[in-house]
Structure 1
Amino acid sequence: MSTTEKGERLSQTVIEAKCFLAEMALKHSDYEYAVQIYREILDLTDSGLAAYQLGALCAMGKGTKQDFLEAAYWFFQAQSQGKEEAGRLLARSTLDYFRQDLDRLTPELLWKKAADFSERVFGEQETRAASISCLKQMVNFCIEKEDFENEVKIVRALAEYGKDAESQNRMGVLYNRGIGLERNDLAALYWFNKAEEQGSAGARADCDGIFQAYSRSLGREDFAEQIGLLAQWCRTGRGPVPLDRERGAFWTGRMEKILTGSDRKGI
């Protein structure tokens, strides 16, 4: 047997011994020692079992402080090592993590929290896509619970900071129908137009529909005044839409065309 083979066999023996110690610690409710041993195992090797158990202890707050971020990290590591059952607990830990302090977080802080979570759990290369996926899980959770106020906040984070077309379209729907916030067709027009910019066919139809409704129901000057108000919101960020100088210039141009009578057909 070569020196390398002897070293590998010794290392495996050490790992097996530590796994046994950790199991005994759990059996006797010595959770702090179990956490210590599982961390030692994970320093030596990528163990799906150790990662799974450590994730469970972090989620329950046994042997260590309760930490859903760390729980999610270890469940993801366990899933990556073939522990399929870790996927369900990863999803649960993700929800538990984002539910913490949800009521007091702004959309901007919520997006930052999602980015920090994704970087820790999934790695730097997947941050944006993972952040969007995690927050969409929370959107579905809020819809299921009929928590429309927090749904609006999460969708706004996705739409404004994640630049997600589906969420921009959803913001348009929420404003158009007055779900979880005060109905505002100008704000709906803004978000449908943002989604349309990214190729959303459904958003284009909704955008044109609102524009046409204003055109039919208002005289030229009143119509232009409303579009000018939207442009002002975009330029200043003081209305129900975010600061967006590019769209401010766009809507100013549309207002000017309305006043000259050359733009009443649609976006």
Structure 2
Amino acid sequence: MQRRTTALQIGGCLALALIGLASADPLEDGVAAYRQGDFAAAMRLLRPLADAGDAKAEFHLGRMYALGQGVEQDPRQAVVWYRKAAERGDAEAEFVLGVMSLDRSGASQDAGQAVAWLRKAADKGVFNAQFRLGMMYAKGASGLEPDPIAARMWLSLAAERAENAYVHALVTKERSKLSAGMTPAEIAEAQRRAIEWRAK
């Protein structure tokens, strides 16, 4: 009986140790610290990962520098980290870098590069990038020629990703206003492109 109890205790200790090892993920811990507002711990955990090329860690460092969370606010340093994450394919970083480039918030790219970053994020299904591109094509903003077909395509895709009924209504209202000035053939082409995009 004593041998069995000892075996159970040892097994229990091993199981707890393995659970501890399984949850000891510095990235998850760093992101959790960030979300809890413990920016010192987030920086301590995320910086080595970012230095080693982890895109999610790079993205969070970019955000910390952009917002001055745990570090002095530095838009240029934010862009450095966002760019590293974006170049590794992080969709959130691609979107933020595109927006910062359009707004000139520490980025020095031209509008064409900004649109390219937004397009990459939109192609990965980022709602904000899809909606922003739709509106930019609708209005011909940031050096883009007005393109109602592209605008309607992106707004349709964004509507599918709206996080709640209010946002969905906002996107569909913009799409309806745009569609009022389009021909049936243009609407059909926008729908065809949206179907083609979904099939990728």
Question: Relative CO higher for 1 or 2, CA cutoff 8 Å, sep ≥ 6?
Answer: 2
Q: Is the 8 A contact 1:69 1:97 kept in 2?
A: no
Report Cα offsets for 1:26-48 as digits up to 9, x if no partner: xxxxxxxxxxxxxxxxxxxxxx7
Structure 1 residues 113 and 244 mapped into 2: Cα distance closer, same or farther (>3 Å)?
Answer: closer
Task: Select 2:131's aligned residue among 169, 173, 179.
Answer: 169
Structure 1: unaligned runs, 5 residues or longer: 1-47, 60-66, 103-109, 115-130, 215-222, 238-242, 247-267
Q: Is the 8 A contact 2:152 2:187 kept in 1?
A: no
Residue 183 of structure 1: aligned partner:
146
Task: Select 1:154's aligned residue among 86, 107, 117.
Answer: 117
Residue 195 of structure 1: aligned partner:
158
Task: Select 1:205's aligned residue among 149, 173, 197.
Answer: 173
Count of matched residue pairs? 140
State the TM-score, normalizing by the size of structure 2: 0.52
- The DSSP-based 3-state class of the residue aligned with 2:180 is helix
Identity of counterpart residues, as a percentage?
17
> Which of structures 1 and 2 has the bigger CA Rg?
1
Residue 226 of structure 1: aligned partner:
186
Structure 1 residues 86 and 153 mapped into 2: Cα distance closer, same or farther (>3 Å)?
Answer: same
The alpha-carbon deviation at position 167 of structure 1 amounts to 2.0
State the TM-score, normalizing by the size of structure 1: 0.41
Amino acid at match of 1:142: S
Report Cα offsets for 1:49-89 as digits up to 9, x if no partner: 9x77xx69xx9xxxxxxx6947x95996xx9xxxx644747
The alpha-carbon deviation at position 183 of structure 1 amounts to 1.8
Amino acid at match of 2:135: V
Residue 4 of structure 1: aligned partner:
none
Report Cα offsets for 1:215-256 as digits up to 9, x if no partner: xxxxxxxx3322333344345x5xxxxx3349xxxxxxxxxx
- The DSSP-based 3-state class of the residue aligned with 1:180 is coil
Backbone CA RMSD of aligned residues: 4.1
The question of 1:135 aligning with 2:98 is answered: no
The question of 1:95 aligning with 2:79 is answered: yes
Structure 1 residues 99 and 230 mapped into 2: Cα distance closer, same or farther (>3 Å)?
Answer: same
Residue 103 of structure 2: aligned partner:
144
